[in-house]
Chain A
Amino acid sequence: MFLRIDNRWIITIVACLIPLLGLYVDIAFDNLGANPIQALHIRLGDWSLRFLCLTLAITPIQTITKWRGMVTYRQIFGLYAFFYATLHLLAYLLVDHALMWRMVAIDIIESPYIWFGVLAYLIIFSLAITSSKWAKKRMGKAWKKLHRLIYVAAVAAVMHYFLQLKGNLAEPLFYSMIVFLLLGFRILVWVKNRQLHKMMIPTGRRVLVLAEKQGEIPEALRKRR
Chain B
Amino acid sequence: MIIRTTKDIPASEITDPLVFRERRKIIKAMLATMVAGTGIAPALADNNNSAWANLPKGDFSADLLTPTPAELIKNYTNYYEFAFNKQDSTKLAQNLRTDPWSVEISGEVENPGIFYLEDILRQQVLQERIYRFRCVEAWSMVVPWVGFSLGNLLKTVKPLSTAKFVKFTAVHQPDIMPRQRNNAMLEWPYVEGLRIDEAMHPLATLAVGMYGDILPKQNGAPLRLIVPWKYGFKNIKAIVKIELLKRPPITSWSQFAPKEYGFYANVNPAVSHPRWSQNSERQLGSGFFSPRRQTELFNGYGEQVASLYSDMDLRHFF
Contact = CB atoms under 8 A, between A and B. Distances in A.
A110 B280 CA distance: 11
Contact of A97 (B75, B85, B291): B291
Interface stretch (B20-28, B38-46, B169-177, B307-315): B20-28
Contacts of A113: 275-276
Contact of A98 (B78, B84, B86, B289): B289
Contact of A106 (B86, B186, B279, B282): B279
A30 interface: yes
Interface in B272-300: 272, 274-280, 282, 284, 286, 288-292, 294
B137 interface: yes
B188 interface: no
Contact of B85 (A96, A114, A164, A168): A168
Contact of A167 (B80, B276, B289): B80
Interface residues of B, dominant DSSP: loop
Contacts of B284: 34-35
Contacts of A110: 272, 276-279
Given A38-B139, A106-B279, A100 B86 contact: no
Contacts of B23: 30
A103 B185 contact: no
Interface in B229-286: 256, 272, 274-280, 282, 284, 286
A29 B276 contact: no
Contacts of A106: 277, 279-280
Contacts of A36: 288
Nearest to B71: A34
Contact of A34 (B26, B72, B290): B72
Contact of A35 (B24, B26, B76, B290): B76
A37 interface: yes
Contacts of A40: 288
A30 B24 contact: yes
Nearest to A108: B277
B136 interface: yes
Contact of A111 (B87, B137, B272): B272
A26 B253 CA distance: 34
A79 B262 CA distance: 43
Interface in A141-170: 163-164, 166-168, 170
A97 B72 CA distance: 21
B84 A168 contact: yes
A111 B277 contact: yes
Contacts of A30: 23-24, 26-27
B76 A103 contact: no
B276 A111 contact: yes
A103 B291 contact: yes
A34 B72 CA distance: 5
A145 to B, nearest CB: 31
A96 B281 CA distance: 10
B46 to A, nearest CB: 17
A114 B278 CA distance: 13
A100 B87 contact: no
A164 B276 contact: yes
Nearest to B76: A34
B136 A166 contact: yes
Contacts of A163: 275-276
B275 A103 contact: no
Contacts of B30: 31
Contacts of B24: 30
Contacts of A111: 272, 275-277
B279 A96 contact: no
10 contacts: A29-B26, A34-B86, A37-B288, A38-B282, A98-B292, A107-B279, A112-B274, A164-B276, A167-B84, A168-B84
Closest 10 CB pairs of A and B: A110-B277, A34-B76, A168-B84, A34-B72, A98-B291, A30-B23, A110-B272, A111-B276, A106-B279, A163-B275
